[in-house]
Amino acid sequence: MTAPLPEVASRKYDLTFARWVRDNVEGGDKMNMCMQCGTCSGSCPIGPEMDNGPRKTFMMVRAGMREEVLSSSTLWNCTSCYRCTVRCPRGIKVTAIIQGLAQVAAKEGYAPKGENASFANAFWWSASTFGKTDERLVPTLYYFSAGFMEGIRKSLDNLKIAINMLKAGRMHIGMPHTIKDKKGLKAILAKAAEIEKAKG
């Protein structure tokens, strides 16, 4: 005779986090459509660099594993290739959700140093200060975000590339390219941040 069935589920799922993601992350409203087929993770070009991948991440959100999701390496390795998004048989915006979760993780202080979030901060500094991406300063700032020696090492690694780009006229020496109306852009971004903050 087999053992009797347990009377209650072995684990209760807490849907608080899943509901929060549904309401606050772009594309989150469709996450409940996920049938765990794994097309997303199977299509990811950089899947082996991710601890969980999108399929498992979605299940972890449903399971209420807030800490594990927000501290996951999955969020910092997305190349934005959108393969998962166009292949998802349920039409879920997989890329948007992973990047939306990355945003939440960065805001809540989960982002590891020297990773994508440091690059994103360097990038945003350039875009919001000059109105343009400076292809020299953004990588350099990022390299040094992981420490001085690491910065020197990575800069030297890329020296030959930089020289080639200078020779081809695809990198310039001197001040960053900027937009004319930096003041206007600053005012727009400050207002946008204020609106965003007011909404929580």
Partner 1 sequence: MTEKKTFTYYPGCSSQGSGRHLDESIRAVMPELGIGMVDIEDWNCCGASVGQIGGGPLSNLALTGRNMAQAEKQGNKDVITGCAACYLNTHGGNEKIKADEQKKADINEALGAAGLSYNGELQVHHAMEVLVNEVGMDNIADRAKANPLKGLKVAGWVGCQTVRPFAGTDSGGNYDTYEDPDFLDDITEACGAEAVAYDSKTNCCGGSVAVMKPEKTLHLMEKILNSAKQAGADVISTPCPLCQTNLEMYQDSINKKFGTDYNFPVVFPTQLMAVAFGMEAKKDAGLHRQTIRAEKLEKMAKK
CB 120 within 8 A of CB 101: no
Nearest Cα residue to 137 out of 102, 178, 105: 178
* Phi, psi (degrees; rounded to nearest 5) at 126: -65, -50
Residue 58 CA to residue 64 CA, distance in Å, equals 10
Residue 94 CA to residue 27 CA, distance in Å, equals 8
> Does 29 interact with partner 1 (rule: CB under 8 A)?
no
> Does 164 interact with partner 1 (rule: CB under 8 A)?
yes
Residue 190 CA to residue 200 CA, distance in Å, equals 15
Q: What number of residues does the chain have?
A: 200
Q: Which of residues 103-122 bind partner 1 (CB under 8 A)?
A: 103, 106-107, 115-117, 119-122
Amino acid at 13: Y
Instruction: State the minimum distance, in angstroms, from the CB of residue 161 to partner 1.
Output: 5
> Does 153 interact with partner 1 (rule: CB under 8 A)?
no
> Does 156 interact with partner 1 (rule: CB under 8 A)?
no
Q: Which is nearer to partner 1, 25 or 34 (CB)?
A: 25
Tell me which stretch binds partner 1 (CB under 8 A): 10-18, 31-39, 59-67, 168-176: 168-176
Residue numbers at the binding site for partner 1 (CB under 8 A): 26, 45-46, 49, 77-83, 85-87, 95, 99-100, 102-103, 106-107, 115-117, 119-128, 131-133, 135, 139, 142, 160-161, 164-165, 167-172, 177, 179-181, 183-185, 187-193, 195-196
